[in-house]
Chain A
Amino acid sequence: MPKFSDASLAKVKEIIARYPEGRHKSALLPVLHMAQAEFGGWLSTETMDYVASVIGIQPIEVYEVASFYTMFELQPTGQYVLQVCHTGPCCLVGADKIIAHLESKLGIKVGDTTSDGLFTLKTVECLASCGTAPVMQLGRRYVENLTEAKLDEMIESIRGNKS
């Protein structure tokens, strides 16, 4: 059974207090973000049930929301999730090629995780970074103006740190 640290529980309380009395459900998105970060990068049924109990809503309300929003992972992912934008403006300047390159470099298809569990490759819709395209989200930041060389270097350095 997952359980937030005391500091996180205090944070949850502070978040709930941002909304009027009786509107604690408003805290759901921010608390799910916290839960995903704290409990292994994805939302298991146990995690979602726990979030439901912490906020005081029905589990189905959490499942509905978690499955609606794309940032919530309902399956375990690799340690690094590469989320490459594949919407129009990025594709005008080479996002398709970047994705193909990543597939061959990592030896996986979009949606899959490498066998060493290091990388998951995903495509996402417009990240609001069309002026510095191609772009991907990596954890809590963006990597912009992607080139094959830049990605190779990044992947090698992550692999290097692990071995």
Chain B
Amino acid sequence: MSRKILLEHADVPGIDTFPIYRQHGGYDSVEKAVKMDPMAIVEEVKTSGLRGRGGAGFSTGIKWSFLDRKSNNPRYLVCNADEGEPGTFKDRYFMEKLPHLLVEGLIVSSFALGTHTAYVYVRGEFFWIIEALEVAIAEAKAAGFLGKNILGSGFDLEIYVHPGAGAYICGEESALLESLEGKKGYPRIKPPFPAISGLFGCPTVINNVETIAAVPWIIVNGGPAYAAIGIGRSTGTKLISASGNIKKPGVYEIDMGITVEEFVMSDEFCGGLLEGRTLKAIIAGGSSVPILPAHLAFKTAAGEPRLMTYESLFDGGFASGTMMGSGGFIVLDNTACIVRNTWNFSRFYHHESCGQCSPCREGTGWLEKVLHRLEHGEGKMHDIDLLVSISKKIEGHTICALGDAAAWPVVSAVLHFREEFESHVKNRGCL
């Protein structure tokens, strides 16, 4: 049995209501936290080794310690619930099941950061989640866990839900802030970083849903207990969204450090491949990370078992590794076409580019057109190298990481599956 920290009570009937949630220990961390020194909470989170679950994997405790507390401006906590990375659906699942755990995490985190207003930016398509969160916030407020003078501590906090409106780029934290200010989702040029100048020009911390949801457990059980789970710098548990050609797609909470093979093949998780199929590739962290061919999926280039950790997934760098990313785990079997999938993703990035900076605005469209040609039997051999060359023109030259995210899947697909691209040229499309 895998350990459950976030999803322990996910299947309790009525857990989305305040009374039942409270009966199962919900909001205990708030009672504990408001008696603590806020900086001690930050330390506890540092000790836990918790890393941002939105994709970049940056240490949450360190991010919190960057927050400018000397500024005379108000400070803000913003929760990134814009979940849009293809292959990722864990935040949605989590918020549907446990809206109160997110609210609890927001209260404790706000207390630690000294923020009196928190915004949850939820992707606009999730109408029902926006409603559920608003209900949970109202319930928590009615019970004295939110609003003025929480539990008599003198600490005030309001949480507001803000809807997005259909733009993947608003998951990028600075685009999210622009969107929250009522503008187009144009990523900002950094520095300044949000910790100094974020929402409304004020010091701001932005964290993913899953990151914030891990905080209550850390406060109740202590940072060291969390750090004891996992391997090395990959501590705690992680929600993985599993999709594609597997028997049991869904959201799984894993201990960091189980093997990729166990995750894909065991009945506890993905349940293995469909009958008669063979593994072709995995995309371990959402569409933005490099694709790994079957022979590098379960083992690293050095022949070691590959683990579900930030480090092991990255082992070999982009030559033979990938990234944990958002934990969007997509499995491709022998029936899947790499060229088609790569074209599909490049269409996605082309569609989602905000258009602000020239390499991404122009380059993503070019990539899509060349891949479209290859997939539809009109490609030429030199188009394959052209893909790599266009990617290099984008990568590292853009305002935000969407440019890189558009380039990596293409470069890695050509690197590992060149013969499939060549056969598309020779056979004028898929066989």
Instruction: Name A residues whose Cβ lies closer than 8 Å to a Cβ of B.
Output: 18-20, 23, 25-30, 32-33, 55, 57, 61, 64-65, 68-72, 86-89, 91-93, 124-133, 137, 140-142
Contact = CB atoms under 8 A, between A and B. Distances in A.
Given A29-B163, A33-B163, A130-B89, A140 B128 contact: yes
Interface residues of B, number: 55
B385 to A, nearest CB: 24
Contacts of A140: 127-128
Interface string B333-359: 000100011001100100110100000
B184 A91 contact: no
B185 A128 contact: no
A130 B341 contact: no
Interface in B386-420: none
12 contacts: A19-B200, A68-B184, A71-B124, A87-B287, A87-B348, A125-B351, A126-B84, A128-B88, A128-B92, A129-B89, A130-B86, A132-B249
B242 A131 contact: yes
Contact of A33 (B165, B245, B249): B165
Nearest to B249: A131
Contact of B182 (A29, A86, A133): A29
Interface in B154-188: 158, 160, 162-168, 179-185
A18 B160 contact: yes
Contact of A69 (B87, B92, B93, B164): B164
Given A68-B167, A93-B244, A128-B92, 8 more contacts: A29-B182, A33-B124, A64-B184, A89-B330, A126-B85, A126-B168, A130-B249, A131-B89
B175 to A, nearest CB: 11
Contacts of A129: 89, 92
Contacts of A20: 74, 200
Contact of A88 (B124, B179, B348): B348
A125 B368 CA distance: 15
Contacts of B92: 128-129
A92 B200 contact: no
Nearest to A18: B160
Contacts of B245: 92-93
A2 to B, nearest CB: 19
B82 to A, nearest CB: 9
A93 B184 CA distance: 33
Contacts of A28: 182-183
A88 B345 contact: yes
Contacts of B351: 125
B328 interface: yes
B182 A65 contact: yes
B299 interface: no
A72 B166 contact: yes
9 tightest Cβ-Cβ pairs between the two chains A and B? A70-B166, A69-B165, A25-B182, A130-B243, A28-B182, A71-B166, A140-B127, A131-B249, A126-B86
